[in-house]
Chain A
Amino acid sequence: MTPFAKAALATLATRGVQAIIVALIVGIVSFAMMQALPGDAAYRIAAGRYGYDMMDAASAEAVRIELGLDQPALVQMWTWLKALAQFDLGTSAVYGTSVAEEIGAQLGYSLLLAAGAVITSLLIALPVGIVTGLRPGGVLDRMTLAVSIFLRAIPAFALGIVLVLVFAVQLKLFPVAGFKGASNLVLPSLTLGLGLAAVSNRVVRDAVAEAMSADWRLFARTKGLSARLTLTRHVLRNASVPVVAYIGVQLAYLIEGVVIVESVFAWPGIGHALVHAIFGRDIAMVQGTALVLGLTYVALNLCIDLACRGIDPRGRAA
């Protein structure tokens, strides 16, 4: 086995263990959270099923018995975990549909949005970071620093609303919300992408500036490489290591952002479904979506790990 494959396998194993731990923690925490919410879950679920005006104490009681909400919390928890061990996420308390199927339909949209956000952030952060990194302390550098600080201070939902007001309501360039086609992707991706780029353009800038002032860059120049060739053969490649690693750091922000932005834009994704399920006290849906978000986080981190190993050969031999 090559050292690279060996290291990749080790990463895989670590992340696998992490996935199991995440599943347990997410299950327990989301369950505890739902228990701690005020109000009677059975009432809310019955209301979700039949509508507030169509339900009564009897239907709530029926729901309580049907879903086993009358049983001790630990028993309910155990039931969920036991089903999970058989890869069964259960059925939606409100709609009676399979949680796995619901999530299967939504996850694609969320991943699409996440990919759109990351690509948007790179389209902004890479050129800006490279140009400012080549001239640190210059006018452009100071300007983008100010803009970055400003953007970082705005919460995602507020930025989303501003973008909707300007580009959807006023300029009518893009649709306000929902998902009908590719044009729906622009504003939510931009909302998240700007938030990501606000930080990552500085990471790119620092990485490029550091590589530009490195001794090895000067030595490469003495070998006759032009400034441009030195940039492409040496500087950008070395600078990409911290940049890719930083995408891993941003994953938590990204997933949190997806949940928020999906709600703002009524995006048919898993984050939107999570928020909806919390309000409806749809315990199975909450646990299922939270679990999938957690596992997605682990899986994306794994991708970043492997990408880092791909670009940075150090540590491969070890």
Chain B
Amino acid sequence: MSLLEVTDLAVAAGSLQLVDGVTLDVRPGEVVALVGESGSGKSLTALSVIGLLADSLRITRGSIRFDGVPVHGAGGQDMADLRGNGLAMIFQEPVSSLNPLMPIGAQVAESLIVHGRASAADAAQQAVRMLGRVGIPDPERRAHQLPAELSGGMCQRVMIAAALISRPRLLIADEPTTALDVTIQAQILDLIRDLAEEEGTAVLMITHDMGIVAEMADRVCVMYGGRVVEQGDVHDIFRQPRHPYTAMLLRTIPRLDHPPKQELFAIPGNVPSPRNWPQGCRFKTRCDRATAQCDATPALSEGAHRVACFHPLSEGMT
């Protein structure tokens, strides 16, 4: 059974649809990558799952189930029980995501304390141990330091510690390495993968970097214009992308076996903003396979490798 099951999720700001039909699932212990260009609705999907959308945003359609239990619409108390317990999240900006006035040890211990899972002293000890596990040197001393005394990469490790100390079943990581140096990125990704594997934590990894997808993910979910356009096993999708958008995304990965001077591929055109989404298939304005049929909205197909396209690519076409 799926750990997380999102079905036809739609999020709107007033009358403006920002997420418009997201369907995805995450099974226990697996890493699912949620990919798509900026503005495709990845963060809003994640915030819907964890129940922390901004006040100006509303879930207008769809269902979210965690462990088979519907969470969207459930009382705020249930959601708070799940957060920092079964479900945790980390963000893109590690430095600004930590309270500048609170020692990092206290921030790591916090979820244990608010859920009454440990006494203050016990939680502080566990926090020090957790800081050690995420690779903070001299955690005993560092636990008393403030975020400003740590580098960005160290702050991301602290955030990971704060998220994983509650041993969640699902970790949502919203572009956890985008703000970091390239050299640090790989270390942080390894850390997330290793800890998740040890604890059996499932990860919903949000990224727009197909390289990270290839490194980390078991399955991929591709979003475009507030919808899921393709979803499936990472090997299947890399071997044979079916949606033209996915195919273009894959061509943006720099590859070692390509001649070094060759220019990197960029997807033609711009991502339309939610205000300017076209009727029907949202990718049709940038797609070389679009026909009149694409003025209707393609449904996401059933099965293990799902695609929402009237003219999907098939074997041998890319």
A27 vs chain B, min Cβ distance (A): 41
Q: Report the nearest B residue to A237, measured CB to CB.
A: B101
A218→B149 CA distance, assembly (Å): 21
Check if A101 is an interface residue, CB within 8 A of chain B: no
Contact A313 B101 (CB under 8 A): yes
Q: Which A residues touch B159, using CB under 8 A?
A: 219
B147 vs chain A, min Cβ distance (A): 8
Q: Which B residues touch A215, using CB under 8 A?
A: 91, 93, 96-97
Contact indicator per residue, chain B 74-103, by CB within 8 Å of chain A (1) or not (0): 001000111111001111010011111111
Check if B50 is an interface residue, CB within 8 A of chain A: yes
Contact A214 B101 (CB under 8 A): no
Q: Report the nearest A residue to B50, measured CB to CB.
A: A222
Q: Report the nearest A residue to B103, measured CB to CB.
A: A313
Contact indicator per residue, chain A 199-216, by CB within 8 Å of chain B (1) or not (0): 000000000000000111
A308 vs chain B, min Cβ distance (A): 12
Check if A225 is an interface residue, CB within 8 A of chain B: yes
B185 vs chain A, min Cβ distance (A): 19
Q: Which A residues touch B100, using CB under 8 A?
A: 216, 238, 314
Looking at the complex, which one of B85, B97, B166 makes contact with A219 (CB distance below 8 Å)? Answer: B97
Q: Which A residues touch B99, using CB under 8 A?
A: 216, 220, 234, 238
Q: A238-B99, A241-B101 are in contact. Are A226 and B52 (CB under 8 A)?
A: no
A223→B89 CA distance, assembly (Å): 8
Check if A224 is an interface residue, CB within 8 A of chain B: yes
A221→B162 CA distance, assembly (Å): 12
Q: Which B residues touch A238, using CB under 8 A?
A: 99-101
A314→B89 CA distance, assembly (Å): 26
Q: Which of B43-92 contact A (CB under 8 A)?
A: 50, 52, 76, 80-85, 88-91
Bin chain A's interface residue count. Answer: 20 to 34
Q: Report the nearest A residue to B159, measured CB to CB.
A: A219
Check if B195 is an interface residue, CB within 8 A of chain A: no
Q: Which A residues touch B289, using CB under 8 A?
A: none
B261 vs chain A, min Cβ distance (A): 40
Looking at the complex, which one of B76, B93, B103, B110 makes contact with A223 (CB distance below 8 Å)? Answer: B110
Check if B115 is an interface residue, CB within 8 A of chain A: yes
Contact A225 B101 (CB under 8 A): no
Check if B163 is an interface residue, CB within 8 A of chain A: yes
Contact A222 B89 (CB under 8 A): yes
Q: Which B residues touch A313, using CB under 8 A?
A: 101, 103, 146
Q: Which B residues touch A234, using CB under 8 A?
A: 99, 102
Check if A70 is an interface residue, CB within 8 A of chain B: no
Interface centre among A221, A229, A238 (most CB of B within 10 A): A221
Check if B299 is an interface residue, CB within 8 A of chain A: no
Q: Which A residues touch B96, using CB under 8 A?
A: 214-216
Check if A139 is an interface residue, CB within 8 A of chain B: no
A237→B102 CA distance, assembly (Å): 10
Check if A182 is an interface residue, CB within 8 A of chain B: no
Q: Which A residues touch B177, using CB under 8 A?
A: none
Looking at the complex, which one of A219, A229, A237 makes contact with B91 (CB distance below 8 Å)? Answer: A219
A292 vs chain B, min Cβ distance (A): 36
Contact indicator per residue, chain B 102-129, by CB within 8 Å of chain A (1) or not (0): 1100000011001100000000000000
Q: Which A residues touch B162, using CB under 8 A?
A: 219, 223
A314→B101 CA distance, assembly (Å): 7
A229→B83 CA distance, assembly (Å): 14
Contact A224 B52 (CB under 8 A): no
Contact B163 A222 (CB under 8 A): yes
A229→B114 CA distance, assembly (Å): 9
Check if A17 is an interface residue, CB within 8 A of chain B: no
A225→B112 CA distance, assembly (Å): 10
Q: Which of B196-250 contact A (CB under 8 A)?
A: none
Q: Report the nearest B residue to A312, measured CB to CB.
A: B101
Q: Which A residues touch B115, using CB under 8 A?
A: 224
Check if B148 is an interface residue, CB within 8 A of chain A: yes
A15 vs chain B, min Cβ distance (A): 24
Contact indicator per residue, chain B 159-170, by CB within 8 Å of chain A (1) or not (0): 100110010000
A202→B103 CA distance, assembly (Å): 29
A53→B98 CA distance, assembly (Å): 75
A241→B102 CA distance, assembly (Å): 13
Looking at the complex, which one of A219, A225, A317 makes contact with B149 (CB distance below 8 Å)? Answer: A317
Looking at the complex, which one of A226, A241, A314 makes contact with B148 (CB distance below 8 Å)? Answer: A314
Q: Which 5 pairs, one residue from A and one from B, show the smallest C-beta to C-beta distance?
A: A224-B84, A223-B84, A223-B111, A215-B96, A224-B83
The 5 sampled A-B contact pairs (Cβ below 8 Å) are A219-B89, A219-B97, A220-B99, A224-B81, A238-B100
